Structure 1
Amino acid sequence: MNFEDLVKSRHSAVNFIKEEKLTEDDFKKIFDLTKLAPSVYNLQLTNYLVITDEEKKERIFELSYQQYKIHTASAVIIVLGNKNSFEVSEAEKIYGPMKMLKMMDESAYEMTINNIKEYGDSLKANPPELELELVRNAGIHATMLMLSAKHYGFDTCPMHVHNVDQLRKEFNIPDYLQPIMMITIGKSVDKERPRGYRKTVGEFVQFNRY
């Protein structure tokens, strides 16, 4: 399937084949593509909690106002923004191997690490900006996940996260991970569901000025 067909074939699924299961190998293939998504300073701020256990999935179903798509989905993926991504130790994990492999020299390495530290410090001092950065990066990452899933024949639906405090407690999600959204995944019951109206390009794109 070429990229145009892939994008056109991805729809948000509202009901899944309940008997359909995804294996860990299925998820590994999906996430191996997902990890190629861009991120600020290549820090890869997005983490995932994949819920496949039926009892745990039903708990999310209850916390999410019993939305049926959760009940029938093969899994629920909780998309998390990692607030610790701007720590120097995390940046060094990303850029240290690049320096060792001579992909960047010592001067470029030090400048990059310092820039990340300065930006991270500014975000810590301004929590709304930190949240915006987490949401921005998670949104890009999650879009790549949904396209990757469709590439391998699985359908998805992005969802709001409800009752975050209870969700944290239920699944032992640490404070440094911020739940951003959820994605249900499986195989859709309805393969021919028509797509909702999309604005024409002229309605939402302007050139050079507004």
Structure 2
Amino acid sequence: MTFPDLVKTRHSAVNFKENEKMTEEDFKQIFELTKLAPSAYNLQFTHYLVITDEEKKERVKELSHNQYKIHTASAVIIVMGNKSSVEEVEAEKIYGPMKMLKMMDELDYEMTMEQIKGFKEKLTANDKDLDVELARNVGIHAMLFMLSAKHYGFDTCPMHVHNVEELRKEFNIPNYLEPIMMITIGKSVDKVRPRGYRKPVGEFVSFNGY
């Protein structure tokens, strides 16, 4: 499937084939592509909680206004922003091996770590800035996840996440992970519907000012 075909055939699934199981290998191949998504300073802010257990899925459904698509989906995925990604120890895990393998020299390493330190100070000085950064990085990552899933024959639907504190308690989600959205995944049983109206390009794209 060409990339334009992939984009055009990806629709948000309203309902899924019930009892369609997905394996860890299915998810692994999707995430092997997803992990290539860009992120600020390559700090890889996104973390996924994949829920395939039927009882646990039903609990998410209860906390999500009983949306039926969660019941029929092969899995529901809580997509979270990792606030600890800007910590020095996390940056060292990414850039330390690059320095050791001579992919970057000592000067580049020190400059990059200093830039990340300043980036962290900016984000942690204002919760709103951190929230925006998490949302930006998670959104990019999640879109690539949905396209990767479609590439491997699975359908998805992005969803709001509800009752965050209850979800935290139910799944022991630590405070440094911030749930931002959910994605249901499986094999769609929807009839192929005409895509909803999209604005012409000229209505949402401007060049060189207004």
* Aligned match of 2:50: 50
Q: Which residues of structure 2 form unaligned runs of 5+?
A: none
Secondary structure in 2 matching 1:134: helix
Shift of 1:192: 1.4
Shift of 1:53: 0.2
Scaled by the length of structure 2, the TM-score of the pair is 0.99
Question: 1:1-210 residue pairs with structure 2 within 5 A?
Answer: 1-210=1-210
Query: How many residue pairs end up in the alignment?
Result: 210
Range with bigger deviation, 184-193 or 71-80: 184-193
Per-residue CA deviation, residues 89-109 of structure 1 (Å, 9 max, x unaligned), is 100000011111111100000
Shift of 1:140: 0.1
One-letter amino acid of the counterpart of residue 85, structure 1: S
Q: 1:174 to 1:117 in 2, by over 3 A?
A: same
Alpha-carbon separation, structure 2, partners of 1:68 and 1:194: 22
Shift of 1:68: 1.0
Secondary structure in 2 matching 1:44: coil
Alpha-carbon separation, structure 1, partners of 2:138 and 2:44: 9
Shift of 1:191: 4.5
Per-residue CA deviation, residues 69-123 of structure 1 (Å, 9 max, x unaligned), is 1111000010010000011110000001111111110000001011101111211
- Tell me the C-alpha RMSD between the 2 structures: 0.7
Alpha-carbon separation, structure 2, partners of 1:78 and 1:19: 20
What percent identity do the matched residue pairs reach? 76
Alpha-carbon separation, structure 2, partners of 1:117 and 1:57: 39
Range with bigger deviation, 192-201 or 160-169: 192-201
Secondary structure in 2 matching 1:195: coil
Shift of 1:193: 2.1
Secondary structure in 2 matching 1:93: helix
Secondary structure in 2 matching 1:147: helix
Shift of 1:195: 1.1
Shift of 1:23: 0.4
One-letter amino acid of the counterpart of residue 140, structure 1: I
One-letter amino acid of the counterpart of residue 6, structure 2: L
Alpha-carbon separation, structure 2, partners of 1:55 and 1:183: 17
Secondary structure in 2 matching 1:12: coil
Alpha-carbon separation, structure 1, partners of 2:29 and 2:72: 22
- Regions of 4+ moved over 3 Å: none
One-letter amino acid of the counterpart of residue 72, structure 1: T
Alpha-carbon separation, structure 2, partners of 1:117 and 1:53: 40
